[in-house]
Structure 1
Amino acid sequence: MKDKVNREKIPQPGQPRPFNFPEFRAYRLPEGLQTITVHKNNLPLVNLLYHVSFSPLDDRPGHEGQASLLSLLLLEGTKKLTGAQIAGRFEALGANYNTHIGWSGFYFELNILKEHLEKGLELSRQILYESVLPDHEFARLKQEALVDRLQIKDMAGRIANERLLKLLFPDHRYGLPVEGLSASIEKITVEELRSLYNQVFLKRQPTIIFTGNIEEDEALSLTEKYFASQQNKAPHEAKVARFEQSAKPKMALVHKPNAAQIELRVAQFIPPRQHPDFFKIRLMNEIFGGYFLSRLNLNLREKHGYTYGIHSQLTYRPQVGMLLISASIQSEFITQALQEVFKETHKMKEDGVSADELSSAAGYLIGVFPTAFETIDQISDAIAHIVTYNLPADYYRTFREKIAEVTVEQVNEAAQKYLKPQNMQVVLVGDRNVVEKALKENYEIEVFDIKGNPLK
């Protein structure tokens, strides 16, 4: 006879395994460049993370996608080497390298054996400071970006995310995707990318993070040798932006013919990442929709079977935070699912949480916390997060302690103060012929095609 599982009773968390986030040292060189070092000698590897406050916020209006294209084009040729030669040399060293750009900035990352570190740093220096941004590679990458935009019509999740951002940030760069839209990508020229590279990218002060089998003195010496001589830069201060919660929430239905289900997104603003109530809000969200035993998942998945899973997360950009609910819902249950989402939101705000719920959520966060720092590149990324959001140096070393200190009263206070169901923006992507009539019986909705054009 099979044991019965009591899904009504929240299991108690076990003892968390010991963990200490590694100590790191930060230095400011005379040139102003900041170097951070984390020494871990368990493997003969070093991770370099070069971070600079250059982001899609630097795109020229109407030419959105410039920063994204530039981040890719940097790898395609320097004054001495073609992109293929760069790739071949890194491969011969057994190294991995890439660029990434997002709202928090530009990142160049290198993972390499310690014995080949200097050769890897010289190649990295050329990529970052001597890129020529070749015409033919620009044409290829631009075409790939345009093809990617064409493919979005088959990606309901991306369509939903982009329409939601347009509702939240109608007049800000945050309201458009990092890579831009087809119309803006079409306008971008290689000449304007070269200007952006020389006049903006190269003038921003970077932070360089070394993690792995490297000593502090060596990291400083290598920074001086390969990066400090290039410095004629200044720290970048972002413009202060203010984001207001919409007084009149909107519900947008994006018509995707013959869609088998509905992609649902619900979102509102929350305080920015540096806010002192961060840990209270984090636990509030965890109980609300942040993990498998959350209220949203137990209701919409376990109780009603409307979805295979629903999740809420806190997502941050410089100067603003968002609470985002995501799910794929069976079309015939979309109105009921929406009602349950808002019911749970009001219940959390008005009735609060229990001690058992808080204990379970806190235990989960404390328990999984070490898994986020198992590799040297994960550690570098975590330190970059501290730098980007100006968090305390001991943020990760005290994270579990601060989670454990949050009380039921504090979570309830956060829910009452920050959950705003009356301001939540809603996006649905699905077949209007299946769901529009039922939705209009309960909600005021606007309908769009997948390109964002209004439909009657």
Structure 2
Amino acid sequence: MSMLQPRPTLGDASPYTFPKARRLQVGGGTVVAIDVPGQPYAAVRLVQPAGGTSEPLDQMGVAALANEALEDGPEGNSSLAPALEQYGAEWVSRVTWDSFVTGVDAPASRIADATALFAEAVRAPALRDDDVIRRRDQLVERFWLEASMASTVAARAIGGQLFTGRYATPLSGGPANLQQLTPEIVREFHAGSVAAVAGTLVVVGDLSGVDLEKIGRTVFGDAQPTPSRSTTAPEGAPGELPRVLVLDRPGSVQSALVLAHRAPARSEIDLPRANGMSDVLGGMFTSRLNMELRERLGYTYGVGCRFDLRRDSGVFFISTQVEGPTTAHSVTASLEQIERLRNEGVTDGELSAVRESNTVGLPVGYSTARSLASALVEAVVHDLPEDHVDQLRAGFERITAEDLHQAARDYLHPSEFVIIVAGDAKEVAGPLEEIGVGPVTVRDPEALWA
């Protein structure tokens, strides 16, 4: 007798609704909180506008350095992590172009104690000379260590090819700029842009019994309200478009390849259409670029594309690593797939895959306090409505094939591409000139940020 049980019949996926957040004004700041009953681990994030674009041009990298230096804590000498451990808490921090984010993940039962220590670390860190210099040297060392990877070098060159001003230099500021940052400069930046600014506090977890107003007072203290932010689109880099930049890596058997052009700001883009189109082109394993460059041609292990959207502008880019001799053909093959998408649109199968990949997995994608907090942080940084996740879901649910076709025409601009290749110039420069995409320039990658 068979012991096999019949396979259960799958029903339709339940619609996902993002939890409603509670907002309260505390002193000069705002607390935005989501209560998740039964979620024992809480995520606390302080969002401030002291990102890369807030830096003076003669102090590029100071936000990243200040963010790193906060980890030395109120007592200095890397004292913060062990102090947080007594509460089972973990420090979290990062800098983007638009934001300075710090926080802790901690058991909800210890959130008050962990947040008090976190607040002291943010508002009154030691920032000792020795600690700041050590952190600065670590950032410089990390920059060059990461630059040993061709893909990192190619990605870091995007800003200088598309923008003038702050975006032309990597977010970390680059080695030459970092070396000019003194402890005094870091302390001045922290005092004016971090300690003095209240910001917005995101709190997510099982908040039963948690006094949010008290936590807000602890974190904000007497800091002033976050100043209003204006956005102005940055100027573009000079030069003919499209064009090719080869970052010479003699002897390299592979080429890191990036095709990039400017894109609208986060507030100006229809995200379901744009991301759905990007998924079809290079965002899924079954994408056009992956099927062509990996599956049919065998040039790469994988290729992807995405939008990097900021408050004042954006970037769309394709990135992959290919065998050196296939570099030029990889460029033309990628451009051919873009033209096909712009001219022919998407298939019913691609439309279905876009809908499912951006809706069915939402309950899992937002199942943790961290992931819910990340969505709230994004809303704060980009001034999005609290239901922006639900709006995205609804946008993907009603998206059509024509929407994705129009997105390809609206958001893909082959004539504006900058093509960046990190590889052996002796091997790749000639073939890249022969395909006639645009003028080819060869540079030493180590000289880019000297």
What TM-score do you get using the length of structure 1 for normalisation?
0.90
Shift of residue 336, structure 1, vs aligned partner: 1.4
Task: Return the match for 2:200 from 203, 207, 220.
Answer: 207
Mark the CA change 1:216 to 1:422 in structure 2 (over 3 Å): closer, same or farther: farther
* Structure 2 unpaired stretches of 5+: 1-9
Query: Structure 1 residues 227 and 152 mapped into 2: Cα distance closer, same or farther (>3 Å)?
Result: closer
Q: Which residue of 2 aligns with 1:55?
A: 51
Choose which of 10, 13, 16 in structure 2 pairs with 1:16. Answer: 13
Contact 2:272-2:399 at 8 Å conserved across structures: yes
| AA partner of residue 446 (structure 2) | K
- TM-aligned CA deviation for residue 41 of structure 1: 2.1
User: What is the distance in 2 between the residues matched to 1:158 and 1:138?
Assistant: 25
**Cα offset for 1:375?**
1.5
Which residue of the partner structure matches residue 9 of structure 1? none
Deviation at 1:307, TM superposition (A): 1.1
Q: 1:347 and 1:452, CA in 2 relative to 1: closer, same or farther beyond 3 A?
A: farther
Q: Which residue of 2 aligns with 1:359?
A: 352
Structure 1 residue aligned with 2:419, among 415, 421, 426? 426
Amino acid of the structure 2 residue aligned with 1:417: D
CA distance in 1, matches of 2:79, 2:264: 46
2:311 pairs with one of 300, 311, 318: 318
Which one of 141, 152, 161 corresponds to residue 155 of structure 2? 161
Q: CA, structure 1 residues 328+388, in 2 after alignment: closer, same or farther (shift >3 Å)? A: same
Q: 2:447 aligns with which of 427, 431, 452?
A: 452
Q: Among residues 16, 20, 26, which one is paired with 2:23 in the alignment?
A: 26
Partners in 2 of 1:453 and 1:197 — Cα distance? 28
Deviations 1:61-92 (A, max 9, x none): 233111111111122142xx334443322112
Correspondence 1:76 to 2:68: no
Report if the CA contact (8 A) 2:165-2:235 is conserved.
Answer: no
Match of 2:189 in 1: 196
Contact persistence 1:245–1:269 (CA under 8 A): no
Aligned partners of 1:204 and 1:236 also within 8 Å:
no
Matched to 1:306, the amino acid is: Y
Counterpart of 2:403 in structure 1 is: 410
Greater mean alpha carbon deviation, residues 232-241 or residues 181-190: 232-241
Contact 2:271/2:392 (8 A) holds in 1: no
**What is the CA–CA distance in structure 1 between the aligned matches of 2:106 and 2:299, rounded to whole Å?**
47
Structure 1 counterpart SS, 2:387: coil
8 Å Cα contact 1:243-1:320 kept in structure 2: no
Shift of the alpha carbon at 1:340? 0.8
Q: In the alignment, which of 213, 219, 223 is matched to residue 227 of structure 1?
A: 219
Which deviates more from structure 2 when the two are superposed, residues 83-92 or residues 280-289?
83-92
CA distance in 1, matches of 2:71, 2:395: 41
**Cα distance per residue 1:135-156 (max 9 Å; x no partner):** 1111211111222233244211
The answer to whether the 8 A contact 1:16-1:366 is kept is: no
Counterpart contact for 1:310–1:327, Cα < 8 Å = yes
Deviates more, 1:336-345 or 1:392-401: 392-401
State the shift of 1:254 in Å.
Answer: 0.5
Look up the match of 2:248. Answer: 255
Residue correspondence of structure 1 range 286-301 to structure 2 within 5 A: 286-301=279-294
Identity %: 22
Aligned residues of 2:28 and 2:224 also touching (Cα < 8 A): no
**C-alpha separation in 2, matches of 1:452 and 1:388:** 33
**173-182 vs 351-360, greater mean Cα deviation:** 351-360
Q: Which amino acid aligns with 2:347?
A: S
1:39 counterpart residue number: 35
Partner of 2:167: 174
Give the number of equivalent residue pairs: 437
Match of 1:436 in 2: 429
Q: Distance in 2 between matches of 1:45 and 1:453?
A: 44
Cα-to-partner distance string for 1:193-233 (whole Å, 9 max, x where unaligned): 11111122223331001100114972123212x03432234
Mapped partners of 1:192, 1:33: distance in 2: 26
1:92-111 correspondence to structure 2 within 5 Å: 92-111=86-105
Secondary structure in 2 aligned to 1:264?
Answer: strand
Change (3 A) 1:50 1:58: same
Aligned-partner SS, 1:359: helix
Q: CA deviation at 1:236?
A: 3.6
Q: 1:86 aligns with which of 80, 96, 99?
A: 80
SS of structure 2 residue aligned to 1:62: helix
- 1:241 and 2:237 equivalent? no
Let me know the Cα RMSD of the aligned residues.
2.2
Q: Distance in 2 between matches of 1:112 and 1:214?
A: 12
Moved more, 244-253 or 439-448: 244-253
Higher mean Cα deviation, 375-384 or 227-236?
Answer: 227-236
Q: Contact 1:205–1:236 (CA<8 Å) still a contact in 2?
A: no
| Deviation of 1:58 (Å) | 2.6
The AA in structure 1 aligned to 2:66 is: L
Q: 1:236 to 1:297 in 2, by over 3 A?
A: same
Opposite residue 394 of structure 1, the aligned amino acid is D
